[in-house]
Amino acid sequence: MNPSLHIGHSRIRKEGRAKVTGEAQYTDDVRMENLLYGVTVRSSVPRGILKGIEFGEGIPWDEFIIVTAKDVPGELNVALIERDQPFLALDRINHPEEPVVLLAHADRYLLEKARAAVRLDIEPLPPLFDLEESLACKEVVWGQDNLFKKILIEKGDVDSVWAGAAHIVEGEYKTGSQEQLYIEPNGAIAVADAEEGVTVWGSLQCPYYVHTALKALFNLPDDRIRVIQMETGGGFGGKEDYPSLIAGHAALLSLKAGGRPVKIVYDREEDMVATTKRHPSRTRIRSAFDAEGHLLALDIDFALDGGAYLTLSPVVLSRGAIHAGGPYRCPNTRIRARAAATNTPPHGAFRGFGAPQSLFAIERHMDVAAAQLGLDPVALRKKNLLRMGDATATGQIIKENIDLPALLDRALEKLDYSTKKENCKIHNAGSSPIKKGLGFATFMHGCGFTGSGESYLASIAGVEGRADGKIHVLAASTEMGQGANTILSQVVAEVLKVPLELVEVVRPDTALVPDSGPTVASRTTMVVGKLVQEAAIGLRQTLIQSGFLKAPYDGGGFSSAVKQYIAKNGHLKAYSQYNTPPQIVWDDQLYKGDAYTTFAWACYAAEVAVDTRTFEVQVVDFVAVQEVGRVLNPTLAEGQIEGGVAQGIGYGLSEQVVWDRGRMANGQMTNYIMATSMDIPRIRVYFEENPYPNGPGGAKGLGELPMDGPAPALLNAVQDALGTTAPREIPLTPERLMDLIEPANV
């Protein structure tokens, strides 16, 4: 077997130099002639009937471009899963940040003065802010029953188990909202013209989502809508569906302005309070064990607060429900999952996409169960972890030779678990107010879209030979800091056996690249990488079969062959379209079968110190061991894990969205407490390589996995430190920890 030229090697980021030198152009860097700036006037009322709009005195309104719902030329609602969210409210208000009026002007300062002068006459209606009240239909604020989606997963016969069980363990677990806090706020620039169509440049993850939404908004055909991704300063899911809204707003203003370009870039506070966040959740688990600690049954009730509109809640719920049983073998499982409406801004996609919520619950529950059964958490998990040939909750048979007990052992060994465990006992028996503990979580993450999503998308990607002898990758997959440009280039360069410098990724532009699907779901490397790998093989075969390329060759020889082929034939392109791997079967209605083509697996272990005077939790040590197929670029892979763990530490311990009648009350970086470098220990990252045959070079999905494990590992460590089973809600802020510790007199 020939050694890999690029796969498995760390390579410098393709776009790294442009970013560090300031050459890279972000949306707010773009300057255009006759540019107007746009702003959004939003409701401050959580729910009501819009009776009128008043434009206050002292503003030269005739100088302004003003757009309301009545100016929308096509479909008023955003085209996504369901068309329920209006670009602009027409007559109903459903959350405090609902956009109602758009304004544009060349003077940004006058624009802000005008925004403050717009008055919305809203007749209030009773709002709903509580998930349980929504599930109970205390007030109906969406559809007939407030439910965006409900799912039932059943395996075996749960009801027959309880009477004969040796142990029954019950628990309720809650997670809060989480703000993405990407570095660059949402922004878009649009030029819309009745004759030429609409072009949008923006900070976004999924160009074709925006393309679809704008087509409906303006009632235009495919070729008159063009969406171009600018350099994007982070997304995490926050720029998956939301950019359709801001792009539509900029384009509506531009259309009314006669085609003048309009730029809308949110400031930090508007971005935080108005855009989507992670869904809050509540999970109830009832579990049955035999006398030895083997799981007999899991009965799980999983619920998400979706906010005011459906957005992506159904698919977030799907992933959360499928992961709710964790990486455990259980013959009898019932998972009831619901996503319900409330009158807050819509919640949406965020790294992990529902799995961090349900995996937090099951991983905390396993430690709660271990305490109740009198077993060590390690021993309890080893009795129940999935092995090859076992079936998940949906009945998916694990066909890969994955050894989860060995993965757990390696994480504990790297943490020096046994030695530290004894040291913690000795330390905690003393009088120190600092209590020390160890915790871990075992988990998995489905790679790619859930169920038949990839088959439905039928994504296409390609490669193109250029007249200068270079190779361009053609895909709509976006670079937003995760390293997609570098990885896709490595995959193509590996196939073609050429230097990495010969391969470039074309900026995602719907006029130039095919729809390779959204940049979400840990699918870019595994799914799109496989497509460009196959396309590169096709391109190389074309050169060989046409006689322009003969082995052996070097980079110069390949480049020369490309130039000669194009000189004779005019163009050189190859495409590949997704095909579901054989023997993958999924039932969308019954939620049975292969929910994902594969899973990535992990065990994270943490050491914490809990100060019983200040109620602060310090993360002392953190070990992340994961199986991700094959690591294509070690530096980028480690960076993904480290970043995700840091985000997970914030999710578990400090990042609390404070809601005040449906509005985020702490929408600033000074009072929304995310983890900083001072809160993060050295994160020690280790990989197990088990090449996956349907991924490029053996790779699986990686990016979302590290979001799933930190929170339960940390709270399990806090339980270990305090000797109680109390903490069951995140973020575990000092205030919440004080409420737990003081009554228990720990």
Buried b (16+ CB within 10 A) or exposed e, 568-604: eeeebebbbebeeeeebebeeeebbbbbbbbbbbbbb
For the cut 60, the answer to whether the pLDDT of residue 746 exceeds it is no
Predicted confidence band at 745 (pLDDT cuts at 50, 70, 90)? low
Contact 57, 114 (CB under 8 A): no
The reported pLDDT for the residue numbered 583 is: 87
Lateral strand order in the sheet of 118-124: 92-93, 48-55, 118-124
CB atoms within 10 A of CB 312: 26
Q: Please give the average per-residue pLDDT across 679-694, as a whole number.
A: 96
Q: Which of 104, 451, 77 is nearest to 265 (CA)?
A: 104
Q: Please give the average per-residue pLDDT across 635-657, as a whole number.
A: 97
Q: Please give the average per-residue pLDDT across 639-648, as a whole number.
A: 97
Question: Which tens digits make up the pLDDT trace of 587-623?
Answer: 999 999 999 999 999 999 999 999 999 999 999 999 9
Question: 3-class DSSP state for residue 190?
Answer: strand
The reported pLDDT for the residue numbered 194 is: 84
The C-alpha atoms of residue 606 and residue 653 are separated, in whole angstroms, by 13
Q: Which of 179, 204, 351 is nearest to 277 (CA)?
A: 179
Reduced 3-state DSSP string for 362-418: HHHHHHHHHHHHCCCHHHHHHHHECCCCCECCCCCECCCCCCHHHHHHHHHHHHCHH
The reported pLDDT for the residue numbered 744 is: 63
Contact 619, 663 (CB under 8 A): no
The C-alpha atoms of residue 712 and residue 1 are separated, in whole angstroms, by 42
Q: What percent of the chain has pLDDT over 90?
A: 97
Q: Please give the average per-residue pLDDT across 319-346, as a whole number.
A: 98
Q: Residue 627 forms beta bridges with which residues? A: 601, 688
The C-alpha atoms of residue 302 and residue 172 are separated, in whole angstroms, by 10
Q: Residue 572 forms beta bridges with which residues? A: 465
Question: Which tens digits make up the pLDDT trace of 485-542?
Answer: 999 999 999 999 999 999 999 999 999 999 999 999 999 999 999 999 999 999 999 9
- In Å, how far are 598, 607, 628 from 580, measured between CA atoms? 12, 41, 20
CB atoms within 10 A of CB 25: 13
- In Å, how far are 74, 317, 677 from 335, measured between CA atoms? 40, 11, 38
The C-alpha atoms of residue 717 and residue 476 are separated, in whole angstroms, by 41
Contact 424, 342 (CB under 8 A): no
Q: Residue 105 forms beta bridges with which residues? A: 37
The pTM of the whole model exceeds 0.95? yes
Contacts of 600 (CB under 8 A, 6+ apart): 444, 445, 447, 522, 626, 627, 628, 629, 700, 701, 702, 705
Question: Which tens digits make up the pLDDT trace of 273-283?
Answer: 999 999 999 99
Taking the CA of residue 4 as centre, how many other CA atoms within 13 Å lie in the half-sphere pointing to its CB?
18
Q: Please give the average per-residue pLDDT across 674-697, as a whole number.
A: 96
The C-alpha atoms of residue 420 and residue 592 are separated, in whole angstroms, by 42
Q: Please give the average per-residue pLDDT across 399-425, as a whole number.
A: 97
Contacts of 450 (CB under 8 A, 6+ apart): 315, 318, 319, 322, 521, 595, 596
For the cut 90, the answer to whether the pLDDT of residue 45 exceeds it is yes
The reported pLDDT for the residue numbered 742 is: 85
The C-alpha atoms of residue 112 and residue 105 are separated, in whole angstroms, by 10
Listing DSSP states for 247-305 in one string gives HHHHHHHHHHTTT--EEEE--HHHHHHHS--PPPEEEEEEEEE-TT--EEEEEEEEEEE
Listing DSSP states for 127-169 in one string gives ----HHHHHTTSS--STTTSEEEEEEEEES-GGGTGGG-SEEE
Q: Which of 53, 94, 96 is nearest to 77 (CA)?
A: 94
Predicted confidence band at 729 (pLDDT cuts at 50, 70, 90)? very high
What is the distance between the terminal CA atoms of the chain, rounded to a whole angstrom?
60
The C-alpha atoms of residue 106 and residue 740 are separated, in whole angstroms, by 54
Q: Which of 190, 199, 189, 275 is nearest to 240 (CA)?
A: 275
Question: Which tens digits make up the pLDDT trace of 462-487?
Answer: 999 999 999 999 999 999 999 999 99
Question: 3-class DSSP state for residue 623?
Answer: strand
For the cut 60, the answer to whether the pLDDT of residue 1 exceeds it is no
345: left (phi over 0), alpha (psi -120 to 50) or beta: beta
Q: Please give the average per-residue pLDDT across 191-197, as a whole number.
A: 92
Listing DSSP states for 85-106 in one string gives SBSS-SSEE-STT-EEEEEEES
The reported pLDDT for the residue numbered 2 is: 63
The C-alpha atoms of residue 73 and residue 554 are separated, in whole angstroms, by 55
The C-alpha atoms of residue 605 and residue 4 are separated, in whole angstroms, by 32
Contact 323, 444 (CB under 8 A): yes
Buried b (16+ CB within 10 A) or exposed e, 152-164: ebbbbebeebeee
Q: What is the mean pLDDT of the chain?
A: 97
Taking the CA of residue 540 as centre, how many other CA atoms within 13 Å lie in the half-sphere pointing to its CB?
20
**590: its two tokens:** 């019954």
The C-alpha atoms of residue 437 and residue 225 are separated, in whole angstroms, by 56
